Amino acid sequence: MKKGWSQEDLAKKVKEKLSVIQKIETGKITPDTQLCRQLQHELKIKLLVPRKEIPPPKASAPAEITLGDIVKIKGKADISP
């Protein structure tokens, strides 16, 4: 809008169909990387940002397992003489 272009003008500049530009604008599709770069160049805006590397979560040491965790303890009523 700031450039005063119609969707058709933008479609011609990036060599894409008008319907694709309309769908991108309404959020029905997401443009691929190549089209994003073309749009960035023509519109002089930033669409792609570098991905920040997120370190993988550290594996925590397994909690100690006790014998009580493994064996079910029977109550007094369950014990046979």
Q: Domains in the chain: how many in total?
A: 1
In three-state secondary structure terms, 42 is helix
Read off the CATH number of the domain in which 10 is found.
Answer: 1.10.260
% residues pLDDT > 90 (the chain): 48
Which tens digits make up the pLDDT trace of 49-65?
Answer: 888 887 777 766 566 77
16-47 residues labelled b (16+ CB within 10 A) or e (exposed):
beeebbeebeeeeeebeeebeebbeeeeeeee
In a domain, 24, yes or no: yes
pTM of the model: 0.57
81 occurs within a structural domain: no
Residue 70 lies in a domain: no
Instruction: Yes or no: say if 20 and 11 are a contact pair by the CB < 8 Å rule.
Output: yes
Q: Quick one: pLDDT band at residue 4, thresholds 50, 70, 90?
A: confident
Query: Is there a domain that residue 63 lies in?
Result: no
Q: Which domain holds residue 30?
A: 1-49
CA dist 72 and 1 (Å) reads 71
Whether residue 69 is contained in a domain is answered as no
The amino acid at residue 70 is I
